[in-house]
Structure 1
Amino acid sequence: MLEQFPPSDAVAFAAAAERHGFSGTMATDPFQPWLPRLGQASHVWSVLGAVGAATRGDLGPGVTTPTFRMHPAVVAQASATLASMYPGRHWLGIGSGEAINEHVVGAYWPEPPDRIARMFEAVELIKKLFAGSIAGRDVRHAGPSFKMESTRLWTMPKTAPEIYIATAGPVTARRAGRVADGLITQSGPSERLEVLLARFADGARDGGRDAATMPRVLQLHLSWAETDEEAMRNALAEWPIAGMRFGRGDIRSPFELEQLARTVRPEDFAGRMVVSADPDQHRAEIQRHLDLGFDRIYLHNVGRNQLEWLEVFGREVLPGLRP
């Protein structure tokens, strides 16, 4: 979480994670932190370049929004550059955005259906630019939300980065199955996730593909510490948004969210995020999502105790997981 740590620390934690058995890095793309006390918001593409040099696993932004702050062509250039530097390791995660990061450019902030439509148009433009650039030809785009004059990416890997679409909605998941290379979502009740994966599989079949061969990616927030009490303190101080039972896509200021965070109580995390000192509880939660059909899970321990957590999970949690 680049909202929590200076970029140099984030790179060091990614390298430490790999030493303890983790195999890849997903980095957030903030312009502002969720809460003022988190204190950071570094540029994801700069950090991922350094992470790639310090690690050997996969890496990508989870997720970036190529529709407001950045034009899709600029995101495509950043992604192609990273993929050229680290062949076969980089994937591009794309979402429809949240106001806290995207409204800063002063554009009109639309309703969710419009944001989703813009996201899919951005994916169309990026795929078109990737394909044209690999073929050595210029392409252009003129759509409802974006225009791009005839151009190509002059730095382009031989194989385009895979594009994963982030969503929690079944309708968007089905459409993602048709046009994207994979799915990203966050943890939740098994029933909701089963529906999401089923709709993604339906969309893949619509596009003549098999979802079983496509990445199904999960972001899993958790709070581990040496005691249950410390784990709960970390959850309340660092990641109260896990206990918020309302959407936050339209919130524009960390200071506004800070006021809402004061209403979160320990019981609000029940069923939404495991808060525990017991590695077995965390392993069971990870395994539940693997059993549902996710094949790649990125873990975020919400506390500042990153090195201790990486050591404990590398020793006591990862070895006990079943694919």
Structure 2
Amino acid sequence: MPAHIGYAAMLERFPPAEAVELAALAERHGFAGTMASDHFQPWLPAQGESSFVWSVLAAIAARTTGDFGPGVTTPGYRMHPAVVAQASATLAAMHPDRHWLGIGSGEALNEHVVGRYWPEPPERINRMFEAVDLIKRLFAASIAGRDVRFAGQDFKLESARLWTMPEVAPPILVAAGGPVTAKRAGRTVDGLITTGAPGDDRLAVLLTKFAEGAREVGRDASRMPKVLQLHVSWAPTDEEAIANAVAEWPIAGLRIPRGDIRSPFDFEHVARTVRPDDFAGRMLIGADPDVHRAGIQRALDLGFDRVYVHQVGRDQRAFLEVYGREVLPGLHR
């Protein structure tokens, strides 16, 4: 069957109106949906943008017909989980069967700005799953037409319901970078999101652990969404593709943990150490569409049923044209 390949709209790189135009153009070239990044700040000062993802998603949904969702949003710092649930439910009510909610544990770059204590990774992951629990309960109660209360370790909710709610709650997908989180996601949510390149051995482990978690609660992981965000650098020449990766998206080449870095200017400083070799196994780079098609097909064969592609080069329109003509038609699940 045809593969589900979506477009990753990176809101830290393009003004919101242009991001909407690119998402609409991507659909005209054969991309099936849109994933939009949720940032308060860009990774690097040179990227220059960081619009509010919920506003942009509403505009993208109005201009397209495919699925859409935030690459991942992080409830509990900038926004309480109940507010995230309201934003998601509203989009799902406006566009039935199209919207999904991606949730992650967050990075200091975006979440520290409200001045709260920034916890260590295990605590961030526990907070994420507690936020998911709150959102799931709020969705279920609201569909049933009743109020719900919640009192957890990190979050509280007074008696409340969502008064605007779709007939079916949007699926919740959790971002996992490690096997423990992936297995927990398999037990508790509707699907998995991760990022990486097809040659990354870690991806197979995440899928295996996700399936194990699903089996533990009697669910079939083969029927659950498994989403990969894939960074690629396509350009007319290999040299230009490599140069674009280094200049535009050195984040993918960083070999240090990035969750605690708080400023785009700090990222700019550490990104100066990134060299072309650092992208090995982390990004599809090159001018040959066959290389890109083979890499994406490898991810599909591994078990991902949706891939959202982020082109790191600035020329998004040429990329969309080449992918639409020479990459997407040859892909299958």
**Which has the bigger relative contact order, CA under 8 A and spacing at least 6?**
2
Cross-structure match for 2:92: 83
> Could you tell me how far apart the structure 1 residues matched to 2:228 and 2:300 are?
9
Give the SS at the match of 1:317.
helix
Cross-structure match for 2:281: 271
Cross-structure match for 2:55: 46
| 1:14 aligned onto 2:23 | yes
1:178 paired residue among 181, 184, 187: 187
| 1:35 aligned onto 2:39 | no
1:106 paired residue among 115, 121, 125: 115
Contact 2:200 2:281 in 1 (8 A): no
> Could you tell me how far apart the structure 2 residues matched to 1:145 and 1:184 are?
24
Cross-structure match for 1:300: 310
> Aligned-pair distance for 1:165?
0.3
> Could you tell me how far apart the structure 2 residues matched to 1:195 and 1:266 are?
26
Cross-structure match for 2:33: 24
The correspondence of residues 236-315 of structure 1 with structure 2, limited to 5 A, is 236-315=246-325
Q: How many residues align?
A: 323
> Aligned-pair distance for 1:208?
1.1
> Aligned-pair distance for 1:67?
1.8
TM-score (normalised: structure 1)? 0.99
> Could you tell me how far apart the structure 2 residues matched to 1:295 and 1:280 are?
20
> Could you tell me how far apart the structure 2 residues matched to 1:134 and 1:272 are?
41
| 1:223 aligned onto 2:264 | no
Give the SS at the match of 2:222.
helix
Contact 1:190 1:292 in 2 (8 A): no
Cross-structure match for 2:74: 65
- Give the residue type in structure 2 aligned to 1:54: R
> Aligned-pair distance for 1:173?
0.6
> Could you tell me how far apart the structure 2 residues matched to 1:164 and 1:267 are?
32
Contact 2:200 2:282 in 1 (8 A): no
Amino-acid identity (%): 72
> Aligned-pair distance for 1:190?
4.5
1:196 paired residue among 185, 206, 227: 206
User: Where does structure 1 differ by over 6 angstroms across 4 or more consecutive aligned residues?
Assistant: none
> Aligned-pair distance for 1:322?
2.2
- Give the residue type in structure 1 aligned to 2:245: A
> Could you tell me how far apart the structure 2 residues matched to 1:140 and 1:58 are?
31
Contact 1:234 1:303 in 2 (8 A): yes
| 1:169 aligned onto 2:194 | no
> Could you tell me how far apart the structure 1 residues matched to 2:54 and 2:137 are?
21
> Could you tell me how far apart the structure 1 residues matched to 2:60 and 2:264 are?
27
1:120 paired residue among 100, 105, 129: 129
1:211 paired residue among 218, 221, 230: 221
- Ranges in structure 1 where 5+ consecutive residues have no aligned partner: none
- Give the residue type in structure 1 aligned to 2:88: S
Cross-structure match for 2:5: none
> Could you tell me how far apart the structure 2 residues matched to 1:135 and 1:301 are?
42
- Give the residue type in structure 2 aligned to 1:223: S
> Could you tell me how far apart the structure 2 residues matched to 1:305 and 1:284 are?
22
| 1:158 aligned onto 2:167 | yes
> Could you tell me how far apart the structure 1 residues matched to 2:139 and 2:332 are?
36
Contact 1:69 1:105 in 2 (8 A): yes
> Could you tell me how far apart the structure 2 residues matched to 1:15 and 1:154 are?
30
- Give the residue type in structure 2 aligned to 1:57: G
TM-score (normalised: structure 2)? 0.96
- Ranges in structure 2 where 5+ consecutive residues have no aligned partner: 1-9
- Give the residue type in structure 2 aligned to 1:59: F
> Aligned-pair distance for 1:200?
0.4
